[in-house]
């Protein structure tokens, strides 16, 4: 999909489709490499296996994995996506970037939506409810009120969001460039207090944008079909994080601030989240909902910053293993929900239900899909095109 392996760019190079150049005070060095972001993105996508394994049966451990995921996983993923989108704008310009991204995102989205999701939803229904012929399931016979995590998009909503963001990328890039040029931001190193205040400013800006997106969604919500509301809300919710990623690529100074660990912010934000949830109770009012949304944004950014720092510490250089796992991430993610329930059916009468079974389901899903990518998808050009969005002439 997007690779962060390298980018060659000089700040004064021309840009296509009217995307403004980065402010002269923010030169982008040649041969920048972000292997740690490739690795982090892959880990965030693999984390989805644990999240969706938690839907098979109750488990405190796997439910905990899902709850922690809800605090940071997709926010960090979209920050990386925006970061790499701005990288592509620098390398290819607006028009070519949009064209490349629409193929890379749109083809896997449509392929998985048509070929994988109906079968996955059918397996989920069968597992949590009762046996039903596939044709009857597709016709909606006997499915009313069925238990289980079933909807048309399942885990593919994030591709719908990326598709929309790709259309907006040239416009967002121009906004980022204008903001940095207008603010006179530079890459001067800041001392500890300056860094913490800048990080708080980042958090406050994103939180305000998230609040605005949520207000906008509530305005248009009555006009939307029920089945589209989750996807539309998610597109608005994560757009500020995607835009932040673009800012972090364009500004080496803010990138340095965001990529260092902010322990005080991590502790403070998590403490605030616990406090506001206790204050809000089970039926929060409008003020409590606003407080929760703002603090959740603060937590997501504090933890995302921690993950960026940790990835930078652990991944110093490219390795064949890191590169392979990064390349396989989208194959694993697209197929993992389907594979989870295939393994759940295989093991539920053979292994006692509980954490052991769920661990075997998660491990089997990961290992089998790594093999599927290595030995099938990346070796068959048509499959690499369908499920990785790679042009047929480049599929390997």
| pLDDT tens per residue across span 101-150 | 999 999 999 999 999 999 999 999 999 988 888 888 888 777 777 888 88
Residue of 273, 317, 280 whose CA lies nearest to 296: 273
What are the tokens at 335? 């197929």
The yes-or-no verdict on residue 286 having pLDDT over 50 is yes
4 pLDDT band (50/70/90 cuts)? low
85 pLDDT band (50/70/90 cuts)? very high
Q: Which stretch of DSSP H or E encloses residue 337?
A: helix 320-347
Mean pLDDT of 369-386: 95
297 pLDDT band (50/70/90 cuts)? very high
172-183 residue pLDDT tens: 999 998 888 876
Mean pLDDT of all residues belonging to the chain: 87
281 pLDDT band (50/70/90 cuts)? confident
Domain spans of the chain, in order of start: 35-388
1 pLDDT band (50/70/90 cuts)? low
The yes-or-no verdict on residue 218 having pLDDT over 70 is yes
Q: How far apart are CA 159 and CA 161, in angstroms?
A: 5
The residue count of the chain comes to 396
Instruction: Look at residue 136 in the predicted model and tell me its pLDDT.
Output: 82
Beta bridge partners of 32: 7
Asked if 221 contacts 252 with a C-beta cutoff of 8 angstroms, the reply is no
14 pLDDT band (50/70/90 cuts)? very low
Query: How open is the CA angle 44-298-263, to the nearest 5 degrees?
Result: 80
What are the tokens at 85? 């989108």
pTM summary value: 0.88
Asked if 300 contacts 237 with a C-beta cutoff of 8 angstroms, the reply is no
Q: How far apart are CA 15 and CA 13, in angstroms?
A: 7
318 pLDDT band (50/70/90 cuts)? confident
- What is the b/e burial string over 114-150, where b = at least 16 CB atoms within 10 angstroms of the residue's CB? eebbeebbbbbbbbbbeebeeeebeeeeebeebeeeb
Q: How far apart are CA 353 and CA 272, in angstroms?
A: 36
Mean pLDDT of 7-20: 38
Give the whole-number percent of the chain exceeding pLDDT 90.
67
How many Cα atoms are found within 13 Å in the side-chain-facing hemisphere of 329?
A: 22
Instruction: Look at residue 392 in the predicted model and tell me its pLDDT.
Output: 77
Mean pLDDT of 340-368: 94
């Amino acid at each position: 999909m997007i690779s962060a392996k390298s980018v060659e760019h000089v700040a004064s190079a021309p840009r296509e489709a009217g995307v403004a150049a980065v402010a002269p005070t923010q030169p982008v060095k040649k041969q920048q490499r972000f292997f740690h972001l490739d690795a982090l993105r892959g880990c965030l996508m693999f984390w989805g296996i644990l999240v969706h394994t938690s839907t098979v049966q109750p488990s405190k451990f796997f439910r905990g994995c899902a709850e922690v995921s809800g605090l940071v996983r997709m926010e960090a993923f979209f920050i990386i996506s925006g970061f790499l989108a701005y990288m592509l704008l620098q390398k290819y310009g607006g028009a070519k970037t949009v064209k490349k991204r629409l193929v890379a995102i749109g083809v896997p989205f449509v392929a998985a939506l048509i070929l994988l999701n109906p079968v996955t939803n059918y397996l989920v229904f069968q597992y949590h409810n009762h046996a039903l012929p596939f044709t009857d399931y597709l016709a909606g016979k006997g499915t009313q009120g069925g238990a289980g995590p079933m909807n048309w998009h399942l885990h593919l909503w994030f591709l719908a969001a990326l598709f929309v963001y790709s259309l907006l990328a040239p416009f967002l890039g121009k906004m980022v460039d204008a903001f940095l040029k207008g603010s006179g931001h530079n890459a001067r190193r800041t001392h500890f207090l300056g860094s913490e205040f800048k990080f708080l400013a980042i958090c406050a800006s994103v939180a305000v944008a998230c609040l605005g997106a949520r207000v906008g969604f509530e305005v248009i919500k009555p006009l939307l079909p029920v089945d589209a509301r989750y996807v539309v809300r998610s597109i608005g919710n994560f757009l500020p994080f995607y835009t932040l990623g673009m800012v972090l690529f364009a500004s080496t100074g803010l990138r340095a601030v965001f990529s260092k660990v902010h322990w005080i912010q991590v502790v403070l934000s998590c403490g605030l989240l616990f406090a506001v949830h206790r204050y809000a109770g089970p039926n929060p009012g409008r003020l409590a909902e606003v407080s929760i949304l703002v603090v959740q944004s603060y937590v997501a950014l504090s933890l995302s910053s921690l993950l960026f720092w940790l990835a930078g510490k652990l991944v110093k250089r490219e390795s064949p293993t890191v590169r392979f796992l990064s390349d396989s991430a989208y194959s694993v993610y697209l197929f993992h929900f389907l594979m989870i329930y295939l393994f759940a059916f295989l093991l539920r009468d053979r292994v006692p239900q509980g954490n052991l079974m769920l661990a075997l389901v998660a491990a089997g899903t990961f290992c089998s899909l790594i093999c599927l990518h290595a030995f099938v998808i990346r070796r068959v050009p048509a499959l690499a095109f369908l499920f990785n969005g790679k042009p047929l002439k480049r599929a390997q």
